Each structure stands twice: as structure tokens, then as C-alpha cells.
Amino acid sequence: MKATGLILLLAAILAPLYWFVPMLATHSTEAVISQYIGCAALIAMGMTQLMATRFRWLELLFGSLDRIYVVHKWTGIGAIVAVLLHDTLDAEVKGLGGETALTDLAETMGEFSYYGLLVLVGITIATFIPYHWWRWTHKLMGAFFALGAFHYVFMLKPFSIWDPLGLYVSAFCALGILCYLYTLLPFGFLHGRFGYRINEIKQSGDALAVSLEPEKSGLSHHAGQFAFIRFEGQGKSEVHPFTISKAPDASKSLRFTIKPLGDDTRHFASKLNAGDRASVSPAFGHFARTNGKRPEIWLAGGVGVTPFAAFAQTVTQDSAPVHFFYCTPNRRRASHVEEFEALAKTNNNFHFHLIETESQGRLNADKIEAALDFPISKATAFFCGPEAMRESLKSALRSKGLAARRFKYEEFEIRSGIGLEPIFKILLKLIGAAFDRYQTSRQTR
């Protein structure tokens, strides 16, 4: 992850303090802090809407798209925490004059925004809720953000909307709303997309290998990248990100290896047919091999095999040695095994190690070291798989001399919870309590 984007994001959120700190001399400390926290929440939410656009220039600031989604997630969580604090602290500043019908409406819109965002965050961290439901509700985030922006513009506050502070926060509100509207455009409307047709569908272990041929000009990519794809036809309108499991060639043909992990992908085997059309986005991701001069260790767990299927097609007789460790419960569930084994027989620089965890146990650094014909400290390691496996192997390999900068991975996941299903239950109680407060406040006005 690049520091540039994080520094700019933090600077954008902290910048309003320049105007808020002097207000402490003339207004209630609690009110000023609450007002600042509310503005910080709007700035953060505006930035999350920007990151949701997947504009390619954002990678110059934050790094590859997987890193952008991590920043997007935690910035969104931080924004919701700020909203909760803003609601808890009394934001009313004395002596600003009476309320009007418009300020009363703005207060109501703020309450709707607060409760709506609270519910949607609950749905987001509750990963047991089906993906297609989450994806549909997640689109409402921008709508509730727009209600929060309305609340900001028309509520009574200790500064004018036309002051530098007012214009500064308003700019992030406008940015967020415009980016939200952009994300509602049809798939590929501005990003561009490529038309493909399914050429072949083949079962590969417990995954489905779907090969596609371009209808016209095809997608350019490098081994290890992923793309967003929508298979066209009834019941197949969802857009999904999948790693391209085929190295680039002159034909621009693609292959996606799809494991049935969600409600939609579980039914792909029955939904997809040869000849079906598909729309594919430009390729994303910076997960790529080095120049081939340094020995490489590839580590895959489960469906994490997909980028290595493409990597393997780029190994030549002149490459530095590659040792590929593919962890799977058993051979029957492994994908593209025959391809890897065939390459290992014909290329002395490629060594394939199938780790069947049901019978062999988990892969560890000692097993890796014993299989190598070079020191771990001389290698570059590439990993794709579950986070727990990644952190365990990363730590163990570093203890064996592998430099941290030479452990390469992507942590791409469109939707990721934060391990808080118990907290989700508490969140539901908070929502109920907040709704009770809302009803009470409406009755006392």
C-alpha cells in the first residue's frame, strides 16, 4: 500500500481543524468537537465514494485495487464511527438563531442518514448475508450519504456554507455525490469493457474453468491480473471480479477459474453455456512476477491457485527456478493440477508440490525449506490464499531469512467482514435503541 494516498486522506480529514480550533474560544467545546467530527465523517464518506469508482489513477496514490478496497473499507468504518460520535455529542451551538422549516427538515434528513448508514454497515459486516443482497443494499450507501450532505448544508452551524470551511466540506460532499452517481451508471459505461463469448466450460477440481474468445478487440493484461466480468443472459446479470487464469497471448483469449463460493457462483455450472456473451472490464492488479532472475516460491491455498495458473505459462527454460506449493484438501478438489504436472515434467526450472492437507497436514516453512534447492533468503515469494495462511507463512518465512519486501501478495476481496458477527447482534440492539430515541425526540418537538 502506498503512503501517498493515506497521507492525502488523513490531511483532508484533519484540514478542517484549522478553522475549528479558533471556534473553541467562542463556542462550547463539546459542540465544536461534534461539529468537526460530523464534517470529518462527510469528508471520509466522500472519499470512500471516490474509491468505489475504481478510477485507475487512484492506483498511483494508494497502490493496486486490492489495497484501495482495504482503505475504502476502513475509511468507511471510520466514517461510521465518526457519525456515531457526532450523534452522541451535543452539536448544538448556542446563539445561532431560531430553526426554520428547512433546518427542521435537515435535522430529519440527518436522522434518516444516521439510521440508514447504521443498518447498511451492519449488513456489510454480517458476511452471512447473501452477496447479491449485500451488493444491492450497498448501493444505498451513497443515497444516505447524500441525505447527510443535505443535513450539513442546511443545519444551523457556527460558520457559513460560503466560508472557506463551508466550501471545503461542501466540495467533498459534491465529490462523493458525483462519484456515487457515476457508480450507478451501467457496467463499463465510462471505464470501457470488452465483448467476449464463452468458448469452453470445463470442470477443474471443484472449480469451473471458463474460456472466452474476444468478439472484436480483446483485453490486454499481464499474468496475475484480474478483471470484472458480467455474463449476459437471464439470471446472470451480477458483476464479479475473477483472476484471469491464463497468460496473455496474441489471440487475447481469456480464462477465468471460478470456485463456487457465493450464491451466484454456485449456480454458474448450470447457468453458463458455450456461446454465451460476456462483458469484461479492463484488467486490474499489480500482482506480477519479477524479471525471472531471482528464484521464486509460489504459495497457493484453494482458489488462490488462479494467478499461478497464468504465472506457470510464463515460466521458460531460461527462468530462475520456481517451486510452487499448492495447498488443497485433496487432489480431487484441486484445479489445473494436470497443467502444473505437465509443465514440471518438461521444464526443469518448474517444481510442483501438491500439498493435500487432509493427509499431509498444513504447509509450513520447514516443509518449504526442505523442498527447495536454493536458500529461502535468496528467493521472492508470491502468495494467494486465505489471510490466516498468508500471515502464518509470511512470519515463518521471514524467520528463515526472507525479506519482508519480497513477500508479494494481493488481498483483494470485494466484500470482507471484520470478524464481528457477535458485534452485529449488539449493533442491532443499538439500532433499536437509536430508533427509540428518534421516536422520543419526534414526540417532544
Q: Please tell me whether residues 27 and 127 are part of one structural domain.
A: yes
Q: Where are the alpha helices (DSSP H) in 254-385?
A: 268-271, 306-312, 337-346, 357-360, 365-371
Q: What percent of the chain has pLDDT over 70?
A: 85
CATH of residue 301's domain is 3.40.50.80
Q: What does the pLDDT read at residue 137?
A: 79
Q: Please tell me whether residues 327 and 397 are part of one structural domain.
A: yes
Q: What does the pLDDT read at residue 156?
A: 86
Kindly state whether residue 117 falls inside one of the protein's structural domains: yes
Residue 191 has pLDDT above 70, yes or no: no
Q: Are strands 322-328 and 240-243 parallel, antiparallel or unpaired?
A: unpaired
CATH of residue 256's domain is 2.40.30.10
Kindly state whether residue 414 falls inside one of the protein's structural domains: no
Find out whether 297 and 372 touch, Cβ atoms under 8 Å.
Answer: yes
Kindly state whether residue 62 falls inside one of the protein's structural domains: yes
Kindly state whether residue 287 falls inside one of the protein's structural domains: no
* Domains identified in the chain, total number: 3
Q: What angle do CA 43, 49, 55 make, to 5 degrees?
A: 120
Domain boundary among 245, 280, 315: 280
All three cell numbers of 269? 455450472
- Per-residue pLDDT band at 354 (split at 50, 70, 90): very high
Residue 410 has pLDDT above 90, yes or no: no
Closest CA to 168 of 58, 14, 314, 56: 14
93 versus 11: the higher-pLDDT residue is 11
Q: What does the pLDDT read at residue 125?
A: 67
Q: Please tell me whether residues 357 and 423 are part of one structural domain.
A: no
402-418 in b/e burial notation, b at 16+ Cβ within 10 A?
Answer: beeebbbbbebebeeee
- pTM exceeds cut of 0.85: no
Q: Please tell me whether residues 222 and 259 are part of one structural domain.
A: yes
Q: What does the pLDDT read at residue 208?
A: 92
Give the tens place of pLDDT for each residue, 204-237.
998 999 999 999 889 999 999 999 998 887 556 6
Is 166 in a helix, a strand, or coil?
helix
Q: Please tell me whether residues 26 and 157 are part of one structural domain.
A: yes
- Per-residue pLDDT band at 422 (split at 50, 70, 90): very low
302/296 Cα distance (integer angstroms): 20
Residue 73 CA: distances (Å) to CA of 121, 127, 131, 362, 418: 10, 14, 16, 30, 10
Domain boundary among 220, 245, 280: 280
75/69 Cα distance (integer angstroms): 10
Residue 342 has pLDDT above 90, yes or no: yes
Q: What does the pLDDT read at residue 21?
A: 96
315/349 Cα distance (integer angstroms): 8
Q: What does the pLDDT read at residue 94?
A: 75
- CA-CA-CA-CA torsion for 118, 121, 122, 128, nearest 10 degrees? 160
Largest Cα span, the chain: 82
Kindly state whether residue 285 falls inside one of the protein's structural domains: no
Q: Are strands 226-231 and 240-243 parallel, antiparallel or unpaired?
A: antiparallel
- Per-residue pLDDT band at 428 (split at 50, 70, 90): low
Domain boundary among 280, 314, 331: 280
Q: Please tell me whether residues 138 and 45 are part of one structural domain.
A: yes
Q: Please tell me whether residues 198 and 274 are part of one structural domain.
A: yes
- Per-residue pLDDT band at 423 (split at 50, 70, 90): very low
Give the tens place of pLDDT for each residue, 85-132.
998 888 787 767 667 788 889 888 988 898 888 888 777 766 666 666
Give the domain range for residue 366: 296-409
Find out whether 306 and 247 touch, Cβ atoms under 8 Å.
Answer: no
Q: Please tell me whether residues 201 and 82 are part of one structural domain.
A: no
Q: Please tell me whether residues 236 and 312 are part of one structural domain.
A: no
Find out whether 343 and 324 touch, Cβ atoms under 8 Å.
Answer: no
309/258 Cα distance (integer angstroms): 13
Residue 383 has pLDDT above 90, yes or no: yes
* Lowest mean pLDDT, pick from 133-137, 211-215, 338-342: 133-137
Find out whether 232 and 276 touch, Cβ atoms under 8 Å.
Answer: yes
* Lowest mean pLDDT, pick from 87-96, 278-287, 360-369: 87-96
Give the tens place of pLDDT for each residue, 231-278.
887 556 678 889 999 999 999 999 999 887 665 666 676 788 899 999
CB atoms inside a 10 Å sphere around CB 272: 18
Q: How many Cα atoms are found within 13 Å in the side-chain-facing hemisphere of 176?
A: 29
Q: Please tell me whether residues 221 and 274 are part of one structural domain.
A: yes
Residue 405 CA: distances (Å) to CA of 67, 149, 211, 250, 380: 16, 41, 34, 33, 9
Q: Please tell me whether residues 169 and 51 are part of one structural domain.
A: yes
Give the tens place of pLDDT for each residue, 324-335.
999 999 999 999
Beta strand segments in 171-319, E: 194-204, 207-214, 226-231, 240-243, 254-258, 277-280, 296-301
Kindly state whether residue 290 falls inside one of the protein's structural domains: no
151/111 Cα distance (integer angstroms): 9
Average pLDDT over residues 172-200: 86
CB atoms inside a 10 Å sphere around CB 372: 17
Q: Where are the alpha helices (DSSP H) in 184-215?
A: none
Kindly state whether residue 291 falls inside one of the protein's structural domains: no
Kindly state whether residue 286 falls inside one of the protein's structural domains: no
Average pLDDT value over all residues in the chain: 86
Q: Please tell me whether residues 153 and 231 are part of one structural domain.
A: no
